[in-house]
Amino acid sequence: MSDDVRVTIEAVPRTGLSAQRLRQAVADHPDALAALEVADPARLTVSFAPGLGHDPGENAPFQATVFDPAGNRAVELRGTLDRPEHAELRPSAWRPPPSRDELTAAAEILRADPRFPTGDDVVVYRPMPPLADRENPDGTTVRRPALGLYTPGEPTGLRHRIVAVDLVNRAVDWTPAGINVRMHHDCEDSVPTGIDALADRGGPDQVRVRVHRGSTELWNLLVVRPRASAPQNPGLGGGVELRDVRYRGRLVLRQAHVPILNVEYEEGTTFRDDVSFETRFNATGSDPVGWGWRLCSSPPRTILERPSTDAGNFQGVAFHHDGQELRIVSELAAGWYRYASDWRLADNGDIAPRFGFAATANPMTCLVHRHHAYWRLDFDVEGAGNDVVEQIDDTGSLIPEPVPIVRETSRKRRHPAHLRPSYWRVRDKSSGRGYQIHPGDHDGTADAYGVSDLWFLRHHPRELDDGNPGPRDRAAINRFLNGENINGANVVVWYAGHYYHDQAHPQPHQGELIGPLLVRI
């Protein structure tokens, strides 16, 4: 870290309902327990419910899903933080991915099964899909976390097995229906870290980060770690989430995260990936606010920088300033996939959102597939409202004219020859300050499954993700397009990057991180 740069980290609380407060609100709600057919609220799965909106106060709205793992049912509560027991109740099809506690309990049941393989090299890991629920004849369903078994020494060559575990009845299904993988293939080299090594040791969910160069404050922002990132409950997180980002005292971004992350295989399998499950990587330095937050003395190294191992000495969010920019990094796990959630905040005010893709040994990723990452960038340049969006087209002119975008719409990075956008910009209508959005060199262009590359929307507090309505987990951001005016409004930009992975015919960019460059103007 440069001698004249100082990075400080301070733990700060979030505004919302604690899990304990939400559980009590459910117990006091006249209809919640009856809707779930549950007598004991203690058996329900609840989590922190953040206040929605830009500046949530005591009466801010909230949205939370309460889940009964025994009955495999959920209800959604929509209300205000000051009176959660009066929240509106809605049925919900949301099924959260298995928690760390569920995975640990499932692994214990699996290891006790007489069919569990012997050998010191057996690893129990998180596979894809994360759940293999079973429907009963009466229409009810049984929640069953999926577990992967890696057995490299298996004489038959069966290196991978995926099983389903019924936690209520303590039963293992060794051949669950609907699991579409090739079990005798070993894609990638890194042996996956086992379930038992991924304990959560607490620590704050959110910190305030300040970057000073001498007496000048360059950056001041809130950073939310992936395990608490929006959207959750419902939702699958957003990786490392940035909130209330200020550069030299001026607000530029209210919220920035990756709420949608999809994988599509050419043979037809698709997944909507978890963007909240933190896994291990290498980071050396000090932990100024406790477990899960590290200020590094050298650059952190995710699986992209150490491809031969899934091990690491740290789990959470790491910070490193190299003298020119602050890097904010975490590594995420979704089954056998490993993702680098990475932000770079330059001293000159530029912002580089980055996302990287890798995997541990598995039976699947040697098949051709595409990853689709969707950043949600809530621009509040100089404050909420009064922002404008403009498209800068490559017309051959030395000084191209910006084309205003006045209604909600979507765009692709490649258009017919008569319309080739070079970049876009979001700026405050009064001051002219803002950011240009320049596509990354390896961000690709959306295919039919990826839908589009950018969306320009008017801000609405509940539009944090698409709700994953399908089909095939396909991003459904288009459902927010309804022709609203965005000229002088509170603007949200969704930006998609598309990563093509073919092990048999590697592309020159493989191993790189994708993402745009946000250039300050």
Helix extents (H) in 278-386: none
For residue 421, the model assigns a pLDDT of 64
CB 459 within 8 A of CB 489: yes
Please indicate, yes or no, whether the overall pTM of this predicted structure exceeds 0.75.
Answer: yes
CB burial class (10 A; 0-12, 13-18, 19+) of residue 236?
buried
DSSP state of 84: G
Using CA of residue 481, residue 487, residue 493, residue 495, what is the dihedral sign?
Answer: positive
Residue closest to 348 by CA, chosen among 218, 258, 222, 497: 218
At 417 the pLDDT is: 47
Please report, for residues 124, 239, 391, 507, 509, the alpha-carbon distance to residue 438 in angstroms, rounded to integers and kept in the order given. Answer: 42, 21, 11, 22, 18
Report which of 126, 49, 96, 105 is spatially closest to residue 332, judged by C-alpha positions. 126
Q: Are 228 and 200 in contact (CB under 8 A)?
A: no
176: cis peptide before it, omega within 30°? no
pLDDT computed for residue 303 by the predictor: 94
Cα gap 23→233, rounded to integer Å: 13
pLDDT per residue as tens, the chain (521 positions): 556 899 999 999 999 999 999 999 999 998 999 999 999 999 999 999 999 988 899 899 999 999 999 999 999 999 999 999 999 999 999 999 999 999 999 999 999 999 999 888 999 999 999 999 999 999 999 999 999 999 988 777 788 999 999 999 999 999 999 887 767 778 988 999 999 877 888 899 999 999 999 999 999 999 999 999 999 999 999 999 999 999 999 999 999 999 999 999 999 999 999 999 999 999 999 999 999 999 999 999 999 998 888 989 999 999 999 999 999 999 999 999 999 999 999 999 999 999 999 999 999 999 999 999 999 999 999 988 899 999 998 766 777 789 999 999 999 987 544 455 689 999 999 999 999 999 999 999 999 999 999 999 999 999 999 998 878 999 999 999 999 999 999 999 999 999 999 888 877 777 789 999 999 99
CA distance 191 to 179: 21
Distance (Å, rounded) from C-alpha 437 to C-alpha 427? 11
pLDDT score for 396? 67
Rounded Cα gap, residues 521 and 514, in angstroms: 22
Q: What gap in Å lies between CA 263 and CA 270, rounded to an integer?
A: 5
CA 314 vs. chain centroid, Å, equals 19
Pairing of strands 317-321, 293-296: parallel
Print burial letters for 29-68: b (CB count within 10 Å at least 16), e (below 16). Answer: beebbebbebeebeebbbbbbbbbbbebeeebebbbbbbb
pLDDT, position 434: 97
